[in-house]
Structure 1
Amino acid sequence: MAHKLDMKCPVCDSEHYEVFIEPWVNELNPAKLYGAASGMLGTQRLVTCVDCGMIFESPRYDAATIVKGYMSSKEGEHDSQYKMRVLSFYRSLKKNANSLPDPGAKILDIGTAGGAFLEAAMQYGYDAYGMEPSEDLVARGKTRGLQIEQGAIENHSFEQGKFDMVCLWDVIEHLPDPKTALVEIRELLKPNGILLINFPDIGTWQAKIARKRFWWILSVHLHHFTKKSIKDICSRTGFDVFHYQRYWQTLELGYLERMAVHYRIPLTAFITRFTPDFIQRIPIPYYASQTTALARVQK
């Protein structure tokens, strides 16, 4: 069994921090901690960097152990909302159209899951490629005719300067070394290329009210960003953030209820038992503290 290691701040490399949250669940099995996108609640000791304010897990497992867990992930539940996710992504692209590359551009989506964003991007007119560590999700995406390569940013096969835009949809919080990943992404982008980062924002009013019960504090989320820390890590890796946008997603009510039960939101288990099937299939738009940041390669 691998051992957990003390971590430096993933943004500024400081070793000075204060404890933010102590764990209340004792789970050490990496397969359980990292083998599903939904993750586990209450397993992490989170700390706040004294020097830059970044919130991250320490101690935690090494990168190889974490990525191995991601690769074994089977995500039928996540993929069950494929059509809804395509719709949400497409609406986001339309909403941010003035700040994004024009149709026809080459884009890369890292951590693309079953390829919902790739399909939305193709509908928008992009030449879209994806990377995903999960064998199960890559197989699902390929059956849909999508261009997905299995792996992580550290072992990609793409040529430098190939893409007009690289996207990290709900991915940067999963990366063991996000700063190194952003440096690698910068090399993949053309001059003046766009970086899109969608992330669970721990700086929102919702997060501040929920505190340790914030629904995005999960075993698979190694880092917890705010707008400030996203801007900071981008600046340190060669990007200038120029736009933020709240991310509204549309998913079926039944799926949202099941996720709420998993995240132990009060009364949801009781309510779910009495929700008819036809009600569970109703699409629900919602905002849950996710933020989209757009950054441009520094000149």
Structure 2
Amino acid sequence: MKSEVLCPVCDSNQHKVKYEPWIDIQDPQKLYGAASGVPGTQRLVECENCGMIYETPRFPDEVILQGYLRSEESGHDSQYPMRVESFYRTLLSLGSRIPAKGATVLDIGTAGGAFLDAAQKFGYQAVGLEPSQFLVEQGRKRGLKIEQGTLDNHPFQSASFDLICLWDVIEHLTHPKAALEQIQTLLKPGGILLINYPDIGTWQAKLAGRRFWWIISVHLHHFTRQTLSTICQRTGFQVFHFQPYWQTLQFGYLEDMAILYKIPLSRVLKQLTPRLIQQIPIPYYASQTTALARVKL
């Protein structure tokens, strides 16, 4: 049974409806059992106090978590080499804003470990945390260090990491403010928090409206640069850098995602695309944004 929740940023219960659902799916496994999620199933509201956009009412925390625990993401994992390269290029682009080589890094929600692979290539000592047993096993087969669990159940000591990353994770968390407070305890003094998120404040999102491709069942919260800065401020962080996140994936995989998210003409385009073209790596920007923050002094 779904229930009302407060604004995840400011705890207000005052909001206005932004988008109503147009698809009725009540099976939690269908809603949360895959990172791709299902579009059109949520009632999204906008907080009248801080402007945060989020889902309410929604299923209980434990129902959502069980969906993630049973997730099998073979499709997501099929793009592993290109995800590694995309992460590596981003680390290079961040330059002196992030810790130097040799730093200790925690990647929360690491999936099959693509970022860990890139981080090791960059020169970091990296470990991941992931709730899905399937994805943990995929990463461990690659020789990566991944612990199964969540921020509420992990083996890490306080002040252990120079850099902690949330790559496309904060929008999935049932209580993002509490998660950021926990992350702060795991960072060393002077450590950096990296948050990559789908930005609902971009021109692409505004143009797409309720059909914005990142409005899917697994995304409980929808941040803009302003609301992300606000939730960081409220949890003791200060955002000091934003940049667009460019990723490279195969054209055919992007077509499959477009079909899943019901983007107009995507199915026709897929049918007309030769297999050779489908295998071509395509760099793209789809409103994902990378933010860096540090603990406020």
Q: With the length of structure 2 as denominator, give the TM-score of the two structures.
A: 0.99
1:125-170 CA-to-partner distances (Å, cap 9, x unmatched) read 0000000111110000000010100111111110000000100000
The equivalent residue for 1:227 is 225
**Amino acid of the residue matched to residue 179 of structure 1?**
K
SS of corresponding position for 1:258: helix
Question: Over residues 62-81 of structure 1, what are the superposed CA-to-partner deviations in whole Å (9 max), with x where a residue is unaligned?
Answer: 11110100010000000000
SS in 2 for 1:293: strand
Pick the aligned partner of 1:288 from 277, 286, 289: 286
Report the Cα distance in structure 1 between the residues aligned to 2:228 and 2:145, rounded to whole angstroms. Answer: 28
User: 1-side partners of 2:139 and 2:28: how far apart?
Assistant: 25
**1:23 pairs with 2:25:** no
CA distance in 1, matches of 2:266, 2:44: 26
Q: How many residues align?
A: 297
Once the two structures are TM-superposed, the CA of residue 51 in structure 1 deviates from its matched residue by 0.2
Q: Which residue in the other structure is 1:192 paired with?
A: 190
Match of 1:120 in 2: 118
2:274 is aligned, of 273, 276, 279, to 276
1:73 equivalent to 2:71? Answer yes
The aligned residue for residue 105 of structure 1 is 103
**1:91-135 per-position Cα deviation (integer Å, ceiling 9, x unaligned):** 000000120000000000000000000000000000000001111
- 1:34 corresponds to 2:40: no
In structure 2, runs of 5+ residues without a counterpart are none
Give, as a single letter, the amino acid of the residue that structure 1 aligns with 2:249: L
**3-state DSSP class of the match of 2:185?**
helix
The answer (yes or no) to whether the contact 1:70–1:133 under 8 Å persists in 2 is: yes
Amino acid at match of 1:279: I
SS of 2:152's equivalent? helix
Deviation string 1:245-290 (CA, Å, 9 cap, x unpaired) is 0000000001001101111111110110121111111000000000
The structure 1 segments of at least 4 consecutive aligned residues displaced by more than 2 Å after TM superposition are: none
Secondary structure of the structure 2 residue equivalent to 1:197: strand
Letter in 1 for 2:202: T
Q: Gaps (5+ residues) in structure 1?
A: none
Alignment-derived partner of residue 264 in structure 2: 266
Q: Which residue of 2 aligns with 1:298?
A: 296
Of residues 243, 253, 263, the one that matches 1:245 is 243
Query: Identity over aligned residues, as a percent?
Result: 61
Which of 142, 154, 158 is 1:160 aligned to? 158
Q: Which residue of 2 aligns with 1:141?
A: 139
Quote the RMSD (CA, aligned, Å): 0.5
2-structure distance, mates of 1:17, 1:257: 35
Separation (CA, whole Å) in 1 of partners of 2:160 and 2:11: 30
CA–CA separation in structure 1 for the residues paired with 2:272 and 2:14 = 49
Matched letter for residue 219 of structure 2: H
Q: How far 1:22 sits from its partner (Å)?
A: 0.4
TM-score by length of 1: 0.99
